[in-house]
Amino acid sequence: MHDRSALAQLRIDRFLRERLTANIHRTTAPLDIELWEAPGEPVSFAEASAADFAPFAVGRAWGRPWGTTWLRVRGHVPSSWRDTDGSLPAGTRAELLVDLGFTSGQVGFQSEAMVWTTDGRPLRGIAPFNNAVTEAIDADGRIDVFIEAASNPDVGSLFTFEPTPLGDPATAGTDHIYRLRQVDVALRDLEVAALRADTVALHGLAQQLDAASPRRAEILAGLEAMIDAVDPDDVSGTAAAGRAVLAPLLARPAHASAHTLHAVAHAHIDSAWLWPVRETARKVARTFSNVLSLMDEDPDYVFASSSAQQFAWVKQYYPDLYARIVERVREGRFIPVGSMWVESDTNMPGGEALARQFVAGKGFFQREFGIDTPEVWLPDSFGYTGALPQIAKAAGARWFLTQKISWNETNRMPHHTFQWEGIDGTRLFTHFPPVDKYNSDVSSADLAHAERNYADKGRGTVSLLPYGFGDGGGGPTREMTAAIARAASLEGSPRTVHSTPERFFTTAEAEYPAPEVWAGELYLEFHRGTYTSQLPTKQGNRRSEHLLREAELWATTAAVRVGTPYPAQRLARIWQTVLLQQFHDILPGSSIAWVHRDAERNYAAVARELEEIIADSLAAIAGTGPHLLAVNAAPHERSGAPALGAAAAALPASVTPRVDEDGWVLDNGIVRARIDGRGLVTSLVDLASGREAVAPGGALGLPQLHRDTPTQWDAWDIDAHYRHHVTDLDGAASIAVEADVIVVTRTFGASQLVERIRLDEGSRVLSFDLDIDWHEQQKLLKFAFPLDVHTHTAASEIQFGHIERPIHTNTSWDAARFETVAHRWVRVAEPDFGVAIVNDSTYGHDITRQARDGGGTVTTARLSLVRGALFPDPTQDQGRHHLHVGVAVGADVQTAVREGYRANLPVRTIEADVTEIAPLVSVDHEGVVVEAVKLAEDGSGDVVVRLYEALGRRAAARVSLGFDAAKLTQTDLLEREIEPTSITAADATHADLALRPFEIVTLRVPRA
């Protein structure tokens, strides 16, 4: 038989395009349009509907960048469309069609709109593939609605990564950027639409089948027969005949061994990215309204949505819409998922902040819906900390879902369903959808790829298919649900069923009870620049986390000791701001300029309010008087003040530099540093052991400038080829001694770096305070520490512990891990000697090995200080920055932990009536760290203490209370009492704990 399959496919493609798609609407009619353009930021419906509208028409330009334009649309269904009894023809439906002037760019990255009733109820969102509104037409065929149209510019949805002024309203311009293309009432032909769905399903399946497959030949022959059965001059009248031809092909059931896809409707909406936070709230409302509309049409359709923050926006700004959501949640069709306040980055938030993502997120879902969400839903974050399994389990989560690791540049994850083991040994049942995307359109290509790609064949038979247009694209469509209906059981295709995350995970766990185990972090071999981009945003986050710790500690102390009202609502609001800005495109620095300027303003406001809470709380506790107190919120004693308390101030002085033959010496009897005429540290000796920390021929504190031109994804990526170009900034424009500080000034390009080097009495940390006036673009500034340490691994602080990573390149996995994240410290060590590097605002590091002069190897640890990417914010990091870095010689892990906290929680001094503030809580084991002291979320007044084992060892510790307590219990992160697995003994004054390495423990203490 002659092979005519290529011609058949061309024929089917054209028939789909010219006959079926073109005839889904039998006819259209224009409507009357009026327009009003909001002068600035978006306004309320009440303000817009009362404005003076002017006549407008299709074909005219509208919408300045980031503007809002309101349309008033009126008309009626033409009487000529109706049958003699006044009804529309059988198998048809009238709907409003709107084309705002959609571009060829991606959905979610251009103009969008919300349709409102005249009494102010949101009806439905408008987006390129979600632009039909049935609800706009009343029972009598009248149309009278408002359309709130957002003229959001397309900030690079084609991802050519070119610098653009569109990410900032100040530079985006004012010219209109869209042209209204259609505002019509249309008559939808339901039978033609169904025939098109049948054809798309079968034609797509045929394209996925082997060329020699009998099933493929059968489908192509059937589709050609269908085309012959449909009259091109009367598609509507003959569509049923075409469907009858295809019915037997669609009735052929899936193979018994076919993979099963649990299709979960979803709309991944970034809480900010190439649009500001304020626009995200509108994107969410448009999408959710579409979801509710589709639920009215399709009774099988369910929808899962993450991020408590997004629900909170709808509750605040769209109460009518929220009430409808609540009803669907009660029915089990609109499903809150994810457990977190936002889909957070997990690499850079601190331990307590990551815990609060769950406290805030789960707390919201429980209060609003009575739901204890069982899963963590993070499809798009840029890698996942090894601390997350324990944090998630401690919050009551059972399952974890992500997608992003499929973006790895080098290595393919060996599993799609597995147990993920965290740094403490906690395991979390985890799934990567093998469709390799979180916004499937349920195409045959996606279904086939998911089945072929699934890595755990032979053990598991199910995977999850997240589908729907995200980021304001309107969510799932009726075409997608139609595709699911046809792929429910179809020969040659995986089975596809409407499902929920919980149904999928319980099914997967039941059939695969002992999956493979992946231990440690889920490192994304991509987007490594996110540890460094947008330094002010990262500094704001780090500072906010530590100020929140202080504010909660002293507010709790004031409440317990003197009865000061605890500022619970203020702290909750501040936490929500900080948690929102840990979203995975804000904290990583991958958003437009507008987002990061907003974030910086928010962090400044957070700092002002938290400083006020701290000052008021300390004044309530200690009064104002003649005694100078050192107030210590850190978990370790310092400056004579106990951990979490205060005592008479004994602040350390700095060592006076001594002039040497080639520079200066700093010597405090613990360490001795030599700084040469270049302003570089050529020697750093631990005097007790005599060990030299500086690698032979090297110098510590060497700034190095690299070319930084990623292959793609500018703000996101640092590519390995940056190492091909490096300039050592070892020349000093000037060196001076100011008091006890050596001040080194370096200039390069259009920028300047001022280093202030000092050594305090009693300290083993040589400190570098860095002031950078940065005006470079497509450059990366690193700060290098070549150390005379031979090691195969480096320890990096992460949440509630640390992780040991190989620094060799034995495998492709090791080689791909060339830029890594750390929090307050990194440490490299031999068995009897270590060096730690601490920081107050840096996350990106690279740690490598080199051959040593004289034999062996040395280790170079470098901090990535600042970048100058061009997309999506061409002004990224331009301007002045201040950072702190310290190098601790002869440091064990305990020293690294202590000095990391010291760098981020400076001692405060206050004038007080009292000579001390006794701690509310104390611990007798230095490796057991108190991370939070606060009052309970439920307003009971109970004191909550969160602590963890920080050294990676088993620990027996006693927690003692400095107040009258009724009892002491162990809880989960949500402060719900659990079986006391870590408490070996307890009474009203103390608890004895036995902790696993890196174990987190939360204690709840009602006051007597």
Which residues have a catalytic role annotated? 380
Question: How many Cα atoms occupy the beta-carbon half-sphere of 698 within 13 Å?
Answer: 25
The rounded distance, in Å, linking the Cα atoms of 235 and 628 is: 89
**For the packed helices 568-580 and 535-562, what is the interaxial angle rounded to 10 degrees?**
160
* Selection from 907, 912, 936, 932 nearest residue 921 by Cα: 932
Reading across the β-sheet that carries 921-923, which strands appear in turn?
Answer: 921-923, 955-961, 990-995, 983-986
* Residue keyed to tokens 């991020």: 307
Contacts of 257 (CB under 8 A, 6+ apart): none
Strands (E) located in 607-692: 627-632, 645-648, 658-660, 663-667, 671-676, 681-686, 691-692
Q: Which helix (H) or strand (E) holds 910?
A: strand 908-912
Pick left, alpha or beta for residue 762 (phi over 0 → left; psi -120 to 50 → alpha; otherwise beta). Answer: left
**DSSP string spanning 779-825?**
EEEEEEEEES---SEEEEEETTEEEEEE-S-SSHHHHH--SEE-SSE
Looking at residue 489, the DSSP 8-state letter turns out to be S
The rounded distance, in Å, linking the Cα atoms of 859 and 849 is: 5
User: Phi, psi (5° rounding) for residue 10?
Assistant: -65, -40
Give the count of beta carbons closer than 10 Å to the beta carbon of residue 601.
11
433: cis peptide before it, omega within 30°?
no
For residue 708 the two structure tokens come to 């930084």
Contacts of 812 (CB under 8 A, 6+ apart): 410, 411
Contacts of 1008 (CB under 8 A, 6+ apart): 964, 965, 966, 988
**For the packed helices 351-369 and 308-317, what is the interaxial angle rounded to 10 degrees?**
50
Q: Which helix (H) or strand (E) holds 569?
A: helix 568-580
* Selection from 746, 706, 744 nearest residue 723 by Cα: 706
Paired with 746 in beta bridges are 753
Paired with 418 in beta bridges are 430
Contacts of 710 (CB under 8 A, 6+ apart): 529, 716, 717, 718, 719, 869
| Contact assessment for residue 415 and residue 455, using Cβ atoms and an 8 Å cutoff | yes
Strands 916-917 and 645-648: antiparallel
CA terminus-to-terminus distance, the chain: 91
For residue 500 the two structure tokens come to 């929920």
326 alpha-carbon distance from chain centroid: 25
Give the count of beta carbons closer than 10 Å to the beta carbon of residue 182.
17
The rounded distance, in Å, linking the Cα atoms of 305 and 329 is: 11
For residue 518 the two structure tokens come to 């992946």
The rounded distance, in Å, linking the Cα atoms of 646 and 277 is: 40
Instruction: Specify the amino acid at residue 104.
Output: S
